Amino acid sequence: MSILDRFRPVGAPGPAGPAGVPAADIQGPAVELAPVFAALADDVARCAALVDEARLSAEEDVARARTQAAAILSQGRLDAGVERAKAAARVEREASEQDAELLEQARQEAAALEESGLALMPAVVDKVIDTMLAALNPGLLGPGPLSPGHKSPGQK
């Protein structure tokens, strides 16, 4: 029995008449819908297969992505170690360059001090000798800048 056979025939076209109602529902909707579901069974099976394929593909994609992420992290850790070593070498090189500059500056200052000290040496030696001689024999030097009681032009 078709779904259309379930409804009683109603009046012909024209003024409104009584509505069509089911004549009998002895077999129930399950029997009526069985052929529809049977016709859809192949489509449902194909859809289930597609869902299973998609699920499997998604699991493979996730596994591949996890492997790739682990490789990226591993490479990042290796690169970080290399970069740390490069940075340490750069800092050490800069410190060595700065130390070399400071050492050269200290050498130049020492050379300048030595040169100025050597330039003053004869005058200091003369003064020390004159002072020692004056202390040993006050009359030996005579009047002069180192003799006792001598006043320099700026003294009163």
Rounded to whole angstroms, how far apart are CA atoms 13 and 120?
139
pLDDT digits (tens, 9 = 90+) for 61-82: 999 999 999 999 999 999 998 9
Q: Is residue 43 part of a domain?
A: yes
Q: Say yes or no to pLDDT of 155 above 80.
A: no
Q: How confident is the model at residue 118 (pLDDT cuts 50, 70, 90)?
A: confident
Q: Is residue 104 part of a domain?
A: no
151: tokens are 């006043």
Q: How many CA atoms lie within 13 A of 144 on its CB side?
A: 11
pLDDT digits (tens, 9 = 90+) for 5-41: 655 555 556 666 666 555 555 667 777 788 888 999 9
Q: Is residue 156 part of a domain?
A: no
- What confidence score (pLDDT) does residue 2 get? 62
Residue type, 111: A
Q: Is residue 121 part of a domain?
A: no
> What would the 3-class secondary structure string for 107-147 be?
HHHHHHHHHHHHHHHHHHHHHHHHHHHHHHCCCCCCCCCCC
Find the mean pLDDT for residues 113-132.
Answer: 87
Most confident option among 7-16, 35-44, 49-58, 141-150: 49-58
Q: Is residue 148 part of a domain?
A: no
Q: Say yes or no to pLDDT of 148 above 70.
A: no
- What confidence score (pLDDT) does residue 137 get? 78
- What confidence score (pLDDT) does residue 147 get? 53
Residue type, 52: D
Q: Is residue 39 part of a domain?
A: yes
Q: Say yes or no to pLDDT of 51 above 80.
A: yes
Contact (Cβ atoms closer than 8 angstroms) between residue 144 and residue 131: no
Residue type, 71: A
Contact (Cβ atoms closer than 8 angstroms) between residue 32 and residue 25: no
The whole domain housing 47 covers 26-98
Number of domains in the chain: 1
